[in-house]
Structure 1
Amino acid sequence: METARAMEIYNSERTHKVKLDEDSVWIENVDESNGMATVMVNNNPVNTKTVSCDRLVEVDDQ
């Protein structure tokens, strides 16, 4: 996903489904200047990763 979209999701009051590879993630922070996002993997607060926003995929709710 584009960095701008990751930032929109991060700032949204709605919950959006986002995946990193096959794992569900929660966006905890977005570094717009570097195109990176810190995510929590599978609702596990001790499993966080900082990855390129390009690796994140928004999942349709349909």
Structure 2
Amino acid sequence: MDMQRAKEIVQSQQLTPVNYNGRFVYIQQVDEQKEVAKVFPLDNLNSELSVELHSLDENIY
């Protein structure tokens, strides 16, 4: 995923499905300097991950 789209998703008022390694995640924050995002798996909101933006895929239905 490119940085601009990740930032749009964070700023959106809608929950946009994003996939990380086969799991749906919620993007909470984007770090432009490091090109990573702070995400939470939707099946475990207590688990915070920092992942590279290129490893995220937007699921378009």
Q: 1: CA distance between counterparts of 2:23 and 2:43?
A: 10
Q: Does structure 1 residue 46 correspond to structure 2 residue 46?
A: yes
Unaligned runs of 5+ in 2: none
TM-score, with structure 2 as normaliser: 0.89
Higher strand residue share: 1
TM-score, with structure 1 as normaliser: 0.88
Q: Percent identity?
A: 30
Q: 1: CA distance between counterparts of 2:57 and 2:31?
A: 17
Q: 2: CA distance between counterparts of 1:38 and 1:28?
A: 6
Structure 1 stretches of at least 4 aligned residues deviating more than 4 Å after TM superposition: none
Give the CA RMSD over aligned residues: 1.1
Match for 2:54: what amino acid? D
For residue 32 of structure 1, report the CA deviation from its aligned partner: 1.2
Unaligned runs of 5+ in 1: none
Q: Report how many residues are paired.
A: 61
CA deviation map 1:5-27 (0-9, x unaligned):
10110001122110001000000
Q: Residue 19 of structure 1 corresponds to which residue in structure 2?
A: 19
* Farther off after superposition, 44-53 or 20-29: 44-53
